[in-house]
Amino acid sequence: MNWNFSEISKSFLKDDRGKLLVEGNFGLEKESQRILPSGDLALTPHPSVFGDKTENPRITTDFSESQIEMITPAFRSIEEAYAELDAITVEVENVINNELLWPLSMPPKLPDENDIPIARFSDSRNGRDMETYRKGLALRYGKKMQMISGIHYNFSFGEGMVDHLYEQFGNGKDRRSFVDEIHFALARNFLRYRWLLIYLFGASPFYHSSYYPVIKNEIELIQNSCQCCVDFIENFNQYATSLRVSRFGYSNAFKHKQDMYFNSLEEYSAKLRRMMATKNPEYSQLGTFKDGSQIQLNENVLQKENEFYSSIRLKQNIIKGETQLDALEKRGVQYIEVRILDLNPFERIGLNIDEMYFLQIFLLFCLFEESSPLNKKENEVINLNHHLVALYGRKEDLVLQKYDEGAVSLKSWGKEIFGRLKDLAELIYKSTGDDRYLIIVEKEYQNLFDTSLLPSEIIHREMKSRNEDFLEFGTRYAVTNSHKNSIRKFDHVDEKL
């Protein structure tokens, strides 16, 4: 984009336009495994009371029959979206009886690979395709990797702010092209700076031993393909912030070796469609049918667009019969989906309201910062920073690569980014009198320099101080976070009174 942070910020100082910065639409999607009180994966069917998985817009499943997915609609405020996810969580907990919701992104105790239940769907064309797609995922990546869960943050800017940007910086373009352009610019900057979110909010530093086959397989791949990388992966358990988003987690970027730069909708669409139309020799060897049953949708690099994993997606509301890519091509970008967040076990629904506000101002920063097109070289550095922070983020002297400027410490680069975030928070305060963004940015700024405040470090210290293993820790918080357990706590207080 041909703008800079200072120029665009100043444009919001006139006529109290800074209030446009806080307007938007917010939604959440949360995946969570159902478990038994022992911490074992629950192998019971998805509760029938929630109806057809393809028809329920609020409660469905993700990859597994045991992996429940809770979805809110879009709301005009963060508080409404948060409250709705909390309400859906309560609704689920009231139905699953003696089962609990696993509070961590890395899976609970998993059974043997063959015993992990793939989500089942109705015997319709759509239902059969959804089930076959999941069979294909299991075949290509293994079921255990698919059992990782997370929380997605959906956000769109208010129309008033988009109108203002178009008036100031549209330069004669048609509005839809401009809107697409600024969202793709934002996505590129999100890729550049996402390491900061991994550092601040990563909450998956450990895994259960039943997940180890995935770790072992990845280590062997590294040893066979990149001997110089072996040292890089040693001792990751000591410093990891988010195994979920590391190469030990759910990411097929290395497997496909496809670079998605988000330089334009046209480029994005062409690459995605090419991957969906190009046969993969490895998947062709697996075949499409086995013993008379379809085991994957096709033999292509991607069975369908959902298979392409990215830490951010640009989306458009779909009309029945469309794919997400169809909708994007027809009507352009409508909202942003942030997919990089771990479930935080210390929060009942997996994140807190402050984190949602921080993400809002972080996305504003990504929008306002200059965003040149990405290329292969920069993309490689971006991915390196991502995995360095995911595996070594709590290492005090961690050094990242600042693209054209060479090596830089994580904390000094973070300090620079926080300078921009503070400027935005002050602009909002001047325009609206709302100081909550200032308070939240300052709080996370302290976390930048004090690793003891990071969720990943708190998990590490708490497990160590209580002499707990991964399963004991997760099960304890599954009970603590349960709505039914909260009611029992309050009932106990009432009795004492």
Most distant CA atoms of the chain, gap in Å: 69
Q: Is the pLDDT of residue 482 over 80?
A: yes
Number of H helices, E strands in the chain: 20, 11
pLDDT digits (tens, 9 = 90+) for 352-400: 999 999 999 999 999 999 999 999 999 999 999 999 999 999 999 999 9
Q: Answer whether 109's CB lies under 8 Å from 100's CB.
A: no
pLDDT in the model for residue 257: 56
Q: Is the pLDDT of residue 488 over 90?
A: no
The closest of 81, 73, 338 to 186, measured between CA atoms, is 338
Q: Spell out the residues 6+ positions from residue 375 whose beta carbon is closer than 8 angstroms to its own.
A: 261
Specify if 292 maps to a domain: no
Residue 296, token pair as written in the block: 């994957």
Please give the distance of CA 464 from its chain centroid, rounded to a whole number.
27
pLDDT in the model for residue 227: 59
Please give the distance of CA 262 from its chain centroid, rounded to a whole number.
17
Please spell the DSSP secondary structure of 27-60, one letter per residue.
EEEEEEEEE-TTSBBP-SPPPGGG--TTT-SSEE
For residue 316, CA distances in Å to 155, 267, 300, 327 come to: 11, 17, 25, 6
CA angle at 156 for the pair 153 and 161, rounded to the nearest 5°: 145
pLDDT in the model for residue 247: 87
Specify if 245 maps to a domain: yes
Residue 494, token pair as written in the block: 């009432």
Both ends of the chain: CA-CA distance in Å? 62
CB atoms within 10 A of CB 378: 18
Q: Spell out the residues 6+ positions from residue 347 whose beta carbon is closer than 8 angstroms to its own.
A: 481
Q: Answer whether 309's CB lies under 8 Å from 250's CB.
A: yes
Q: In which element (H, E) is residue 377 found? A: helix 376-392
The closest of 12, 66, 71 to 431, measured between CA atoms, is 12
The closest of 260, 266, 261 to 177, measured between CA atoms, is 266
Residue 10, token pair as written in the block: 């100043």
DSSP bridge pairs for 157:
24
pLDDT digits (tens, 9 = 90+) for 269-325: 999 999 999 999 999 999 999 999 999 999 999 999 999 999 999 999 999 989 999
Mean pLDDT, range 147-157, rounded to an integer: 98
| Total residue length of the chain | 497
Q: Spell out the residues 6+ positions from residue 494 whose beta carbon is closer than 8 angstroms to its own.
A: none
SS3 (DSSP) at 347: coil
Specify if 266 maps to a domain: yes
Say if residue 91 is exposed, middle or buried (CB neighbours under 10 Å; 0-12, 13-18, 19+).
middle
Residue 351, token pair as written in the block: 């994140």
Specify if 299 maps to a domain: no
Give CA–CA dist 136/140, Å, rounded: 6
Domain count within the chain: 1
The closest of 368, 293, 14, 7 to 131, measured between CA atoms, is 293
pLDDT in the model for residue 355: 98
pLDDT digits (tens, 9 = 90+) for 160-172: 999 999 999 999 8
Give CA–CA dist 314/217, Å, rounded: 32
Q: Spell out the residues 6+ positions from residue 103 whose beta carbon is closer than 8 angstroms to its own.
A: 32, 343, 345, 350, 474, 477, 478, 481
The closest of 59, 39, 46 to 104, measured between CA atoms, is 39
In the chain, % of residues over pLDDT 90: 84
Give CA–CA dist 446/433, Å, rounded: 23
Specify if 422 maps to a domain: yes
Specify if 252 maps to a domain: yes
Q: Answer whether 46's CB lies under 8 Å from 118's CB.
A: no
pLDDT in the model for residue 493: 32
Specify if 110 maps to a domain: yes
In the chain, % of residues over pLDDT 70: 93
Mean pLDDT, range 54-64, rounded to an integer: 97
CB atoms within 10 A of CB 228: 7
Query: At 440, which CATH number?
Result: 3.30.590.20
pLDDT digits (tens, 9 = 90+) for 419-442: 999 999 999 999 999 999 999 999
Q: Answer whether 269's CB lies under 8 Å from 325's CB.
A: yes
Place of tokens 């074992």: 40
pLDDT in the model for residue 490: 32
pLDDT digits (tens, 9 = 90+) for 396-418: 999 999 988 899 999 999 999 99
In b/e form, how buried is each residue of 179-212, taking b as 16+ CB within 10 angstroms? bbbbbbbbbbbbbbbbbbbbbbbbbbbbbbebbe
pLDDT digits (tens, 9 = 90+) for 186-233: 999 999 999 999 999 999 999 999 999 999 988 888 777 765 566 666
Specify if 287 maps to a domain: no
SS3 (DSSP) at 199: helix
CB atoms within 10 A of CB 329: 16
Instruction: Give the residue numbers spanning the domain of 262.
Output: 5-276+307-496
Parallel, antiparallel, or unpaired: how do β-strands 24-35 and 407-409 relate?
A: unpaired
Main-chain phi, psi angles of 115, to 5 degrees: -95, -5
